[in-house]
Structure formats: structure tokens, C-alpha cells
Amino acid sequence: MRKNIYIENAGFCIVSNNILNGNGLLKWLLREHPVRDKDNGWRFFSDIDDNDFINDPANMSICDFNDVADIEPAIVAIYTLPIGSDIQLIVENNIKTFWDNITDTGIDIDSLYQ
């Protein structure tokens, strides 16, 4: 599946099948404590996922972070955010920004690269 390697040894994440099969767009991003070796803690959910959907393990897949980045390259910018991060990807007029759901503020992407 992977086309590009954005981050070497980025590890695995859990992602909604709606994102992987193109039914939904990546919208919600959570970083939890890893549960296994090579798990980076990132969890990705789509704009059409609801609680019933995400609570069914059959609707989620484990894949390499770079595979998800192939679908939505903007996530490369948030890779280093800490465990406990709860953010959303907002797309308005083809401009992508990240919003911190805990602090209710925008995330300065440029500051993540410093």
C-alpha cells in the first residue's frame, strides 16, 4: 500500500477503515499510550465515524503511519505531538489546519518543526 516513507520507523497506528477505503476523510486524531511494540499510539478516525462504528474492532485496522500519511500527508506535521493529544484536521477553502480539542486552540504547525 505504501508509496512514500515520510518518517523512518514511524511505527504502527490504528485507523478507521472508512479512511483506508476512501469512504470518509481523516478528521479526528488521538494519541494514546502504545499497546504493543512498534505502536506509536496514533489513532485516526474519519468524518463519518460514529461511536457504534469505532467500537467495533472489525471497523479499525492496524497499519504503518506512513500508509495513512499517503492518504493525508498533513499528518506528518503532528507526528511528534505527545501522548494525550486530541486534535482534529480542519479543511476550509482547501487550507488544512489542526485544532487542539483539549485547549480549544489552533496548532501552529511551524512550531512543531523547531
pLDDT digits (tens, 9 = 90+) for 75-113: 999 999 999 999 999 999 988 999 999 999 999 877 666
Residue 114 has what pLDDT? 54
Q: What does the domain layout of the chain look like in residue ranges?
A: 12-112
Residue among 81, 70, 97, 9 nearest 42 (CA): 81
Residue 88 has what pLDDT? 97
Pairing of strands 12-16, 60-64: antiparallel
Given a contact cutoff of 8 angstroms between Cβ atoms, the answer to whether 91 and 48 are in contact is no
All three cell numbers of 73, joined, read: 500527508
Q: What share of the chain has pLDDT > 90, as a percent?
A: 89
pLDDT of 12 over the 70 cut: yes
Residue among 45, 47, 109 nearest 81 (CA): 109
Name the pTM for this structure. Answer: 0.92
Residue 2 has what pLDDT? 61
C-alpha angle 59-49-42 in degrees, rounded to nearest 5? 70
Compute the average pLDDT of residues 32-50.
97
Compute the average pLDDT of residues 60-82.
96
